[in-house]
Amino acid sequence: MKVLFLFFFLFGATKTFSQDTVRIKQIDSLAKAINNSNFKIHTDSMTQDFSQMGLLMKTYLTAVTDSNQLKKYTNKVYATRVEGGVSKQTTTSSSFYFDQNKLIKVEEFIIEDNKENHADWYYADDKPLYYTVKNDRSEERSILLLDMSRTMLKLIHR
């Protein structure tokens, strides 16, 4: 009986993982299709100069839309800070992907001190599905990104 129970447990866990893997591949395919699409692209930029703190930031915003639906929103920041007379560069980016006005994926990266870190966050049914970075704040971050995406959609659909 224990063997049968263990078999069903392992089969169920494998099936759930397999379904998530298939869903992640579908989401990646949608993100790739959005990146290769001919949807309308809207861009903007801003510069923030905080000289008194030794910080200069250049932000580039990109929104990709299809009709009245947001498909992708990217916030890319190039920051230069001066510490002890030494200039340091940091680049960060967050790209939010949407399907039918629901968040499906967020891609993030940071480049600092010649080190590059990436994180991908996947969503299904308005809930976090999977994330590539596992630490004590990953779940909290996944929910924050979901909340940010909801705010974006509300602002766009006013």
Task: Please say if the pLDDT value at position 119 is more than 80.
Answer: yes
Q: Residue 57 corresponds to which tokens in the numbers above?
A: 């930031």
Report DSSP state, residue 16.
H
Using a pLDDT cut of 90, give the percent of the chain over it: 73
Query: Phi, psi (5° rounding) for residue 60?
Result: -115, 125
Its pTM stands at 0.84
- Whether 114 shows a pLDDT value over 50: the answer reads yes
What are the tokens at 120?
Answer: 């991908």
